[in-house]
Amino acid sequence: MRRTLIAMCALPLVLAFFGCTPGGRGQRPARNRDNYDPGPGWTLVWSDEFNDGELDTNIWTRQVMPDPYNNELQQYTDDPENSWVEDGNLIIRAIWDGVEHGDNHYTSARIISNPGGQSGTTDADGKTFMYGKIAARIQLPTGKGTWPAFWMLGDNISETGGDTDWPMSGEIDIMESGGGGPPTFGLGTVHGTIHHDPTVDNSIGSNRYISGGALMLPDRELLGEQFRVYEVEWDEEQIVWKLDGIEFGSVSISEASRSEFHEPFYVIFNVALGGTFAVSPDEDTPFPQHMYVDWIRHYEQ
């Protein structure tokens, strides 16, 4: 999530075409059937199906960020108006204040599974992951200028009380979308990326990132027209990205220079607005915008 724009590699995917324009449909939960199958050999070891009617604050924390990274325009709050659980979904709502479009005129939510909560000092158990299949069924927002993401940070990151700064802590972007121009503003493309220690094999900047792949839907279809499953399969050798069970990228992590990816990571769901990856929202962006998370699951072999 914290990075400069990567080059997009568009691959074909044959899926049903619904037809839409950015900010059209996608503001209510879609009704497409959940046919997800993790595949042979995978055993479910943990999940949150968001069926309890409220956010499990022993696992999830609403991370407050009044001044987020990447030149993003929104403020992340712990206000239940920006995030809540309802009808079996975790809902993240991005809100415009109606005054003008620009920095600090939007609020949204960033939901993390960090043990100890925002500072790492509370009694929250959180939830970390190391290896396996991490998957979530999500309906993304569809409005111009939105930047939704489902991603992970190393549990040792200083941002939440650890002893290691980013990106040395490591980052795995399972899904992010919204980086592009008209007509879809990148909201029909899913990107997968890793970020790691820039000092071991890179001398050109503070952010060493490697694209795992990107996939663009055909016919200007938007990801947010229905629920889709975003996942990574992660082991000691590589990380593989999939959309609705279709592989669209992979990257090796067996190199000694990528040791960050053999440690526990926690999960993040968020909706950013504008910033270095997405265009800015404007009068063509209907508000509020929503991300619906039906479930998140962790499988092992």
- Residues annotated as catalytic are 171, 176
220 with 184: CB under 8 angstroms? yes
Q: Is 127 exposed, middle or buried (0-12, 13-18, 19+ CB in 10 A)?
A: buried
Number of H helices, E strands in the chain: 0, 18
268 with 2: CB under 8 angstroms? no
26 with 271: CB under 8 angstroms? no
Residue 25 tokens, joined: 């449909």
295 with 167: CB under 8 angstroms? no
The one-letter amino acid at 289: Q
